[in-house]
Amino acid sequence: MRVMRFLLLPSVLLVGAASVWAQVPAVTGKIQTAFTQRYIDYVVGTGRLAEPGKVYIVHYTGYLKDGTKFDSTKDRGKPFGFEQGKKQVIAGWEAGFEGMHVGGKRRLMIPYQLGYGINGRGKIPPKAELIFDIELIDVRDSMPR
């Protein structure tokens, strides 16, 4: 009977976790950052490392916590580029690519404090936790012209 309880609880927890992450394929690791932002790598890249101060070329899809999609470079058919460390993007993105390599795919779960804050912005409501599926396409020394 004791063995049955030990087996049943983990099974219930796994089923619950599986439903939450059903859209994320082949999870390879879950990491908590110092900023209380979470991420999951579901494809580990093998290309150039995303170094601080470099230009990152990325594809992304952004969701609200309820699953509502608010933006996607894939829908537009054109990736987005930004220079890391220049505050061109939200704080969650500044830290969110750390340790990634080109070819990597990651899900970022960004608290409102590292997103658009207490006021929100555009389609993003106040205090919104954001979820981004990101793909690091390229790392460059400077912005393409």
The yes-or-no answer on residue 66 being catalytic is: no
Residue showing tokens 């990597």: 104
Catalytic choice (90, 110, 124, 134)? 90
Amino acid at 41: D
In a domain, 89, yes or no: yes
Which residues sit opposite 121 in a β-bridge?
A: 124
The pLDDT tens digits of the residues spanning 67-104 come to: 999 999 999 999 999 999 999 999 999 999 999 999 99
The pLDDT tens digits of the residues spanning 16-75 come to: 334 334 443 334 444 444 457 899 999 999 999 999 999 999 999 999 999 999 999 999
In a domain, 93, yes or no: yes
Catalytic choice (39, 42, 56, 60)? 60
- Residue 61: which CATH number? 3.10.50.40
In a domain, 9, yes or no: no
In a domain, 29, yes or no: yes
pTM of the predicted model as reported, rounded to 2 decimal places: 0.75
- Predicted confidence at residue 143, as pLDDT, reads 82
Both structure tokens of 92: 């969650």
Q: Counting every residue, how long is the chain? A: 145
The yes-or-no answer on residue 39 being catalytic is: no
The yes-or-no answer on residue 60 being catalytic is: yes
The yes-or-no answer on residue 71 being catalytic is: yes
Q: Which of 123, 115, 125 is nearest to 89 (CA)?
A: 115
The count of structural domains within the chain is 1
The yes-or-no answer on residue 63 being catalytic is: no
The yes-or-no answer on residue 116 being catalytic is: yes
